[in-house]
Structure 1
Amino acid sequence: MAEEEANLEAVMGLIINGGNAKSSAMEAIMAAKTGDFDQAAAKLKEADGFLAEAHNAQTGMLTKEAQGDHVKVTLLMVHSQDHMMNAITFRDLAGEMVDLYKKIAGVPLN
Structure 2
Amino acid sequence: MSTEMQIMELISTAGDSKAKAFEALKKVKEKDFEGARALINEARKIDIEAHRIQTELITQDLNEDVESPAMSLLMVHAQDHYMTSQLAKDLIEALIEVFDK
> What corresponds to 1:107 in structure 2?
none
Residue 57 of structure 1: which of 53, 56, 78 is its match? Answer: 53
The question of 1:34 aligning with 2:30 is answered yes
Seq. identity, %: 33
Residue 55 of structure 1 and its aligned partner are, at CA, apart by: 0.6
Equivalent pairs counted in the alignment come to 99
Deviations 1:51-110 (A, max 9, x none): 11111111111111111231111111110011100110111001011111101xxxxxxx
Matched, 1:98 2:80: no
Cα RMSD over matched residues?
Answer: 1.1
Q: What TM-score results when the alignment is normalised by the length of structure 1?
A: 0.85
Report the equivalent of 2:84: 86
Gaps of 5+ in 1: 104-110
The Cα shift of 1:49 comes to 1.3
TM-score normalised by the chain length of structure 2: 0.92
Q: Distance in 2 between matches of 1:32 and 1:96?
A: 11
Stretches of 4+ moved more than 4 A in 1? Answer: none
Query: CA–CA distance in 1 between the matches of 2:4 and 2:41?
Result: 27
